[in-house]
Amino acid sequence: MAESPILQVTQLSKTFGGVQAIMNVSFELARGQILGIIGPNGSGKTTLVNLISGFVKPDKGSVLFKGRNITGLQPHKIANLGLTRTFQVMRPYHSLSAFKNLIVPLNSPRVKRSAAGRLGDMDAVAIDILEEVGFERDARVPYKAAGSLPLGYLKRLELGRCMALQPELIICDEVFSGLSMSEITSLIPLIERLRMEGITIMMIEHRLRELFRLTDRVVVLTFGQKIAEGSPDEVMSNQMVKEAYLGTETKG
């Protein structure tokens, strides 16, 4: 990889009241790649996301995004640089209709600066994005209060919210969890399309099989430490990883 990596995490550490949530984790992510982060429950995956996206300030270590140090920056500032994330627990703006949910990111400075922001009619943009993530146009769904949507739609909505920001890096925190096989298979092409558009993606996942169909590289966490990194099969053949997983759960 000639060009400098889009994301550089070095020696990241965080403790919550004595508990080492993340310990000296460092890895790199090249532009346009899809990186998978796996690990048993409580291995600190979500904490890692929070640290990178700025929702939690790290005790130690640094995060470089596009070569710029964003450690301890306010989340919204980071997002405006083009790094955004989805949430594990789906909490849309339930009182707002689906497409209004997208009005929020469309109002962010980042979008306003860009072309689409000046494009004028935001609602139209919003609807387009929804269609892109798989809401049927003209159906009532986009106008329904987001609170009443089924989980599948919520995940798409979440992705849509990220896309509205025209990001360069999206961190997906367990988008697959809680979805049926068919829903997942319908989501996968969407993610691939994002990658085609040149968006770098970092996926936190439990559903290893689906994950491995997408990712080029995988990082494995256990108890807040990186125990392995590499291509899916390398990682899976790694002894420590086996233990880590067999020890805890048998998926994958």
Partner 1 sequence: MVKVTRRKKRLDRSIKVRCEGLYALSSWSEMAYLLAPRLLLILGLLLIPFFVDMYWQRVLCSAGIYALLALSFDFLAGYVGLVCLGGALFIGTGGYFAGLLNHYSHLPLFVTIPIATVAGAAFSTLVLIPCLRLRGIYFAIISFMLPLFAVYIIIALNVFGGTEGISALDTFPSISLELYLILAAVLVALFAIRRLVNEDMGIILRGVKDNDQAVRASGISITAYKIRAVFIAALLGCFGGAYLSHLYGWLGISLFAMDFSILPIAATVMGGMGSLVGPVLGAFILTPMSEALRGFGQLRVVLYCFILIAFMVYKPEGIMNYLERKYHQFEKWEEV
Partner 2 sequence: MEILVYGTVNSIIFALIALGFTLVYGVSRVPNFAHGSIYVLVGFLTWTFVNNLSMPYALAVLIALAVASFLGFLIYRIILIRLRGMATSEIISSFAVSLIILEGLRMQGIAGFKGFIGPFYVLKPFVDGKINLFGVFIDYQRLIIIGVGVGLVVLLSWFTHHTKTGLSLRAIAQDEQAAMMLGVNSDRMAMIAMSIGSALAGLAAVLILPLGSITAEVGYRVLIYALAVCIIGGLGSWGGAILASFVIGFAMKISTALFGALWESVVLVGTIILILLFKPSGLLGKQKELEERV
Task: Please give the distance of CA 175 from its chain centroid, rounded to a whole number.
Answer: 8
Distance CA 175, CA 158 (A): 9
Q: How far is CA 60 from CA 16, 49, 166, in A?
A: 13, 15, 30
For partner 1, the closer CB: 45 or 161: 161
Does position 114 bind partner 1 by CB under 8 A? no
Distance CA 90, CA 104 (A): 16
Q: How far is the CB of 56 from partner 2 (least distance, A)?
A: 6
For partner 1, the closer CB: 47 or 53: 53
Under 8 Å between Cβ of 208 and 251: yes
Q: How far is the CB of 9 from partner 2 (least distance, A)?
A: 18
Among 5, 40, 61, 92, binds partner 1 (CB under 8 A): 92
Identify residues 51-80 at the interface with partner 2 (CB under 8 A): 55-56
Does position 91 bind partner 1 by CB under 8 A? yes
Q: How far is the CB of 201 from partner 1 (least distance, A)?
A: 15
Sheet holding 68-69, edge to edge: 19-29, 7-16, 60-65, 68-69
Q: Please tell me the count of residues contacting partner 1 according to CB under 8 A.
A: 31
Q: Please tell me the count of residues contacting partner 2 according to CB under 8 A.
A: 6
Radius of gyration over every alpha carbon of the chain, rounded to an integer in angstroms: 18
Q: Which stretch binds partner 2 (CB under 8 A): 49-57, 61-69, 146-154, 236-244?
A: 49-57
Distance CA 137, CA 44 (A): 39
Nearest to 172 by CA among 184, 141, 97: 184
The amino acid sitting at 103 is: I
Does position 141 bind partner 1 by CB under 8 A? no
Query: Token pair of 165, please?
Result: 């920001």
Identify residues 145-204 at the interface with partner 1 (CB under 8 A): 161-162, 164-165
56 binds, among partner 1, partner 2, none (CB under 5 to 8 A by kind): partner 2
95 binds, among partner 1, partner 2, none (CB under 5 to 8 A by kind): partner 1
Place of tokens 């707002």: 96
Longest Cα separation, the chain: 55
Does position 103 bind partner 1 by CB under 8 A? yes
Q: Which stretch binds partner 1 (CB under 8 A): 26-34, 81-89, 177-185, 205-213?
A: 81-89
Chain residues binding partner 2 by CB under 8 A are 16, 46, 50, 55-56, 87
